[in-house]
Amino acid sequence: MRLSLLLAAILLSGCQVHCGANVGGGSAAPMASEGPQTWVIDGVSHRIAATYYLALPEGLQFTIEAPVEKVPELEVTALDEGWPVIKHAYENKIFLRTSVRAFGSDNVTASRIGISLFRQEGIHTQGMRAAMSIGDIRERLERERADSDKRN
């Protein structure tokens, strides 16, 4: 009895943000989870709590969880705040670290990169998620490079 209570307490307290992503009323189980890590981006250290893949109706998503001091209130703000991390995962091909074999088909690679910015206090967790398709990431990078070329 004590052992089962202890195991239940450990399991419940160890649940982080990535225990299940609420997707259209269902739950997508994370695959190939890794973390925690520290990524150095443009000389700034970014804590990464976890990275994992989610099989979503839109395709396979590489998701990055990052703790923040203040959770953005809007998805667009989360995307802007998470952009350096998304960009780093794309440019360094971190999102391609594994592929998943879909039942009855060939290997599938991530077609999206998502960011989950969260703040955890005790057992309470708040967060905001945002994601971009690989095509949208490429387009944003091209716009940034074009803007940079115009300034120089």
The parent domain of residue 70 ranges over: 2-151
Strands 59-67, 112-121: pairing is parallel
Q: Is the pTM above the cut of 0.85? A: no
Q: Is a pLDDT exceeding 60 seen at residue 5? A: no
Our count of domains for the chain comes to 1
**What is the chain's mean pLDDT, rounded?**
81
Q: Would you call 63 helix, strand, or coil by DSSP? A: strand
The separation between CA 93 and the C-alpha centre of its own chain, rounded to angstroms, equals: 14
- 115-143 pLDDT, tens per residue? 999 999 899 899 999 999 999 999 999 99
Look up residue 57 and give its two tokens.
């109706």
The Cα–Cα gap between 85 and 64 comes to 8
- 38-58 pLDDT, tens per residue? 999 999 999 999 999 998 888
CA gyration radius, the chain: 17
Q: Is a pLDDT exceeding 60 seen at residue 28? A: yes
